[in-house]
């Protein structure tokens, strides 16, 4: 099984995504048959992180969507957040915002609002970005990323007027 993931990784690194996917799929099937649900979920996360590192966002999306099927409702928001990030890297900001909103609907937290604010800034919707980042800061006044992005959004708004 580890051999399947190793072969999958090597193929992905060498640009042979189709063969890499076949090996990864076999490794995941073996995990599903012989290991715990938690082991399988961990393997999905590691696979997705690996694919993101090698800029294979489309493949990562495929595995994140499979991961959604395994996760319980309360566990899904972090997967939605990861899916949103992949879509952002693929420059599909509308789809990224859709998934980021799903994350927030399931679990309102600073990181998810901060990420939505960032996506709204990318889209050019600075007013909405400012609202989302303000909410992020309200949820966690110690989050430096949210605070910095909130200050940037306020500066952009004031310079636009």
Architecture of domain 73-161: Alpha Horseshoe (1.25)
In the chain, where the domains are located: 1-70, 73-161
pLDDT at residue 1 is higher than 90: no
CB distance 129 to 110 below 8 Å = no
Q: Token pair 């072969």 is at which residue?
A: 7
Q: pLDDT (tens digit, 9 = 90+) per residue, 43-99?
A: 999 999 999 999 999 999 999 999 999 988 888 999 999 999 999 999 999 999 999
Q: What is the pLDDT of residues 138-148, one digit of tens each?
A: 999 999 999 99
Q: Within 13 A of 28's CA, how many CA atoms are on the CB side?
A: 20
Taking only the tens place, the pLDDT of each residue in 98-140 is 999 999 999 999 999 999 999 999 999 999 999 999 999 999 9
């Amino acid at each position: 099984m580890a051999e399947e993931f190793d072969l999958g990784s090597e193929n992905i690194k060498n640009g042979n995504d189709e063969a890499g996917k076949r090996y990864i799929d076999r490794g995941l099937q073996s995990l599903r048959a012989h290991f715990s649900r938690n082991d399988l979920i961990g393997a999905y996360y590691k696979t997705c992180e690996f694919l993101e590192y090698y800029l294979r966002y489309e493949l990562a999306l495929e595995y994140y969507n499979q991961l959604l099927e395994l996760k319980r409702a309360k566990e899904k928001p972090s997967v939605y957040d990861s899916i949103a990030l992949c879509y952002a890297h693929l420059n599909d900001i509308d789809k990224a915002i859709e998934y980021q909103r799903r994350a927030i609907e399931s679990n309102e937290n600073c990181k998810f609002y901060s990420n939505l604010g960032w996506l709204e800034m990318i889209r050019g919707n600075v007013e909405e970005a400012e609202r989302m980042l303000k909410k992020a800061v309200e949820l966690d006044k110690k989050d430096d990323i949210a605070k910095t992005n909130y200050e940037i959004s306020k500066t952009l708004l004031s310079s636009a007027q």
